[in-house]
Structure 1
Amino acid sequence: MPEIASDAAMAQALATSGVGPAYLPPFSQATLGTIGIELELMVLDRLTFDLMPAAPDILRLLDMQKKDWVATPEITTSMLEVATSILTGYDDAAAQLEEIRSSVHNAAFKVGAAIAGGGAHPFQRWSEQRIYPKERYRESARKFGYLAKMFTVFGMHVHIGIPDPDEAIRTCAWLTQRAPLFIALSANSPCWQGEDSGFCSARSNVVGAFPMSGTLPQHVRSWAQFQEYFDVLAGHGIVNSIKDFYWDVRPKPEYGTIELRVLDTPLHPSYAAALASYARELCIETAECPGLWPHASSADVYTWNRFKAARDGVDGDYIDAENGTTRPIREVVSGDLARLAARSHDPGFPQACRIIEHLMQDGGQARWLTDHMARGAGMNDVARVASEMFEQPPRAGTPEKESDARTTG
């Protein structure tokens, strides 16, 4: 992503840490359709498959490697975040995510740990987690109390380059309407604190406990209006930087992107590449329809669509505010993929479509995990299966199979 000037970077760093004045950087230049992917990963004990506070040790090993991507700490020491460089399409994303998967797996193995995707660990207890020793995270713990440790959940964030700040706000509005589809496709956190949650994505419910969660307000329809909105909230001491907005889709001005934040971390990085490509194509399609905004009723149905996607995953329904219809999520996604594939210029997008169709089979990732529970597997086995899926290299030429996960245990 574009570099920030040093004085702006300092102001933003102070604002992010909560010790400086509120700061909203100008919207940077970015190429339409560039991608950046962030994955929050579980660090597990290789014997018990409970969360393990070994992220600092893994990070020390990864820091010794020369790489185009970055690995950073997250709010607790059993979490690890990796972020790609700027990517241009599915093939680019799949290749770098496989490099990341291999490197992180190898580093974890050296310290007796395993790595897994998934939106929430099946049986961890929030009270046992340790806040990472970094001032920003200590400030979060002071500000949010026990919620900071409750936030030991694991998500995937997708940045999409948008060249114009006003278009970024409009694209945020459109991508927000499709966000429940990404919740459904990525849903793989059926267990919470050692219990079957009854949801395909228990993680999705945790974020809502934080202030400034939700979505971009409907009345904000330009970058200038967003700046005014930010200034009002900053004046009340509610926000200090863009990081204080826990919206499902938010602008990220220092990168010149919008950021989709609703996904559970997929069980395999190849799924992440496919889902990011889907989001990319939706944003490019929006750019080709200038001036159009979502239907006025879209906000009225969004909360219900989000709830249904988190509860039912790919077996859920989706209300389309644009035409007033209710259809199965599978049907909506398949329709999107067919339409987008017809106009896409990404040579890897057909493979991304095949993987996404694969993610909708047999109830999706959440059901692949709960199938084990139905056959008598315990919570440790669910965590073990997730780690084994992460360890598998992708199979060339075909969508990566979940068969090992569904037959193990």
Structure 2
Amino acid sequence: MVNPATAGGAAADKQALAVAGAGPAFLPEFNRSKLGSMGIELELMVLDRLTYDLLPAAPDILRLLDMQEKKWVATPEITTSMLEVATSILGGYAEAAGELEEIRASVQRAAFAVGAAISGGGAHPFQRWNEQRIYPKERYYESAKKFGYLAKTFTVFGMHVHVGVPSADEAIRVCAWLTQRAPLFIALSANSPCWQGEDSAFCSARSNVVSAFPMSGTMPAHIRTWAQFRAHFERLAGHGIVNSIKDFYWDVRPKPEYGTIELRVLDTPLKPAYAAALGSYARELCIEVYDRPGRWPSDDCQELYAWNRFNAAKEGVGASWIDPEDGSRRQVADVVRGDLERLARRTNDPGFGQAVRVIEALLADGGQAGWLRGHMDAGSGMNDIARVASEQFEHR
């Protein structure tokens, strides 16, 4: 897996121009990377320490973080009340948990220095999209021109997991398989029951926001090789629809410059340990699929995916999941436990047992969304919900 903090060269320059809309469409070659190398990205809320509303202080926090020597990176996001952190290349649960805790502590200190708090969570409970400010960066200004008000509604907060795959063709196959498991990660990470000051009646309101974008959804089922993916990209680029890989808002997509596939459906967890555990679960699934060459998901998968995704966002860890391979309907919790038991028998990650225990905690009592709803049922208002979520993230 290529480290995003050190990637460079002519191809990187072309990619940067394409992403910014300042150059021609560009899709880099798929970089070979070590199977199971892992990176985790978290989009974090920046909050006012008194009101717990979103606070446009990300530029100030990033300036402080830029002064630190670190192996992880912190970057802006589309509006000024959010920032993104990305780990270095990780090898398993213990590394992920340790580095994410280091990130949490560093970002919290920088936020405190400018009078802000930080938080996980997929969507701020009471922010208004029209009050957000686009981050002063050319790429984001271009996105605002292209997508109108949708750019500001994209003030939602997700976790992305990158898993290294040694070959481009296998990355496409693993991507297809991981997509079918993506609703399980929506359910496990769901922690955004409120949207624009209202109870959304969803466990993950965030999951609905991205669907408005034209290139959301999943990788087309007919794509089975890297050459077919490149042809798909070039066809869309020829129509002016895409300019870089970042224009695909798919739930799972290949990330060629890093040599990874990228799972993009999760709400940012309320605790760093949750993020490490869910990343480790995704990593083990990818390794398992890679070790079974030649197998592809059923042709019926795409028909059932939309329902599985909706149900996971609506019901969280209490959702049911229709297995696209045999049509059986099972509870998400049972599917996840079956996966974890099977993966635990084959893993080479000595920390995976701890990851399993953390995920068991996520399955309990309605998950993170259930925990937040418990506060709501006890009479907490929207400011209190934002506060308790922030306290979960900031307290080790």
TM-score (norm 2): 0.98
Give the equivalent residue in structure 2 for 1:14. 17
Tell me the secondary structure at the aligned position of residue 362 of structure 1: helix
Give the equivalent residue in structure 1 for 2:239. 236
The AA in structure 1 aligned to 2:144 is A
CA distance in 1, matches of 2:66, 2:239: 39
Provide, for residues 54-105 of structure 1, a one-character-per-residue CA deviation record: whole Å limited to 9, x for no partner. Answer: 0011111111111110011100000010000000000000000000010011
Q: Is 2:194 aligned against 1:191? A: yes
Tell me the secondary structure at the aligned position of residue 172 of structure 2: helix
Give the equivalent residue in structure 2 for 1:404. none
TM-score (norm 1): 0.95
Which of 142, 145, 159 is matched with 2:145 structurally?
142
Tell me the secondary structure at the aligned position of residue 86 of structure 1: coil
The AA in structure 2 aligned to 1:223 is W
Give the equivalent residue in structure 1 for 2:337. 334
Alignment of 1:120-159 (within 5 A): 120-159=123-162
Consecutive unaligned residues of structure 1, counting only runs of 5 or more, are 394-409
Give the equivalent residue in structure 2 for 1:163. 166
CA distance in 2, matches of 1:11, 1:65: 28
Tell me the secondary structure at the aligned position of residue 61 of structure 1: helix
The AA in structure 2 aligned to 1:68 is K
Q: How many residues align?
A: 393
Alignment of 1:250-269 (within 5 A): 250-269=253-272
Shift, 1:120, TM fit = 0.2
Give the equivalent residue in structure 2 for 1:348. 351
The AA in structure 1 aligned to 2:310 is F
Give the equivalent residue in structure 1 for 2:386. 383
Shift, 1:5, TM fit = 5.0
Give the equivalent residue in structure 2 for 1:225. 228
Give the equivalent residue in structure 2 for 1:82. 85
Q: Is 2:251 aligned against 1:248? A: yes
Give the equivalent residue in structure 2 for 1:402. none
Shift, 1:4, TM fit = 4.6
CA distance in 1, matches of 2:144, 2:315: 32
Give the equivalent residue in structure 1 for 2:322. 319
Provide, for residues 279-302 of structure 1, a one-character-per-residue CA deviation record: whole Å limited to 9, x for no partner. Answer: 000000001100000011111100
Which of 177, 181, 192 is matched with 1:178 structurally?
181
The AA in structure 1 aligned to 2:215 is M
Give the equivalent residue in structure 2 for 1:301. 304
- Alignment RMSD: 0.7
Give the equivalent residue in structure 1 for 2:32. 29
Give the equivalent residue in structure 2 for 1:111. 114
Provide, for residues 39-68 of structure 1, a one-character-per-residue CA deviation record: whole Å limited to 9, x for no partner. Answer: 000000000000000001111111111111
CA distance in 2, matches of 1:378, 1:225: 50
Tell which deviates more after alignment, 107-116 or 6-15.
6-15
Moved over 3 A (4+): none
CA distance in 2, matches of 1:215, 1:225: 15
Tell me the secondary structure at the aligned position of residue 321 of structure 2: strand
The AA in structure 1 aligned to 2:375 is H
CA distance in 2, matches of 1:315, 1:169: 30
Give the equivalent residue in structure 1 for 2:41. 38
The AA in structure 1 aligned to 2:102 is E
CA distance in 2, matches of 1:85, 1:25: 21
Give the equivalent residue in structure 2 for 1:288. 291
Q: Is 2:74 aligned against 1:71? A: yes
Provide, for residues 193-237 of structure 1, a one-character-per-residue CA deviation record: whole Å limited to 9, x for no partner. Answer: 000000000000000000110000000000000000001000000
The AA in structure 2 aligned to 1:279 is A
Tell me the secondary structure at the aligned position of residue 204 of structure 1: helix
Which of 30, 53, 56 is matched with 2:56 structurally?
53
The AA in structure 1 aligned to 2:86 is A
Tell me the secondary structure at the aligned position of residue 121 of structure 2: coil
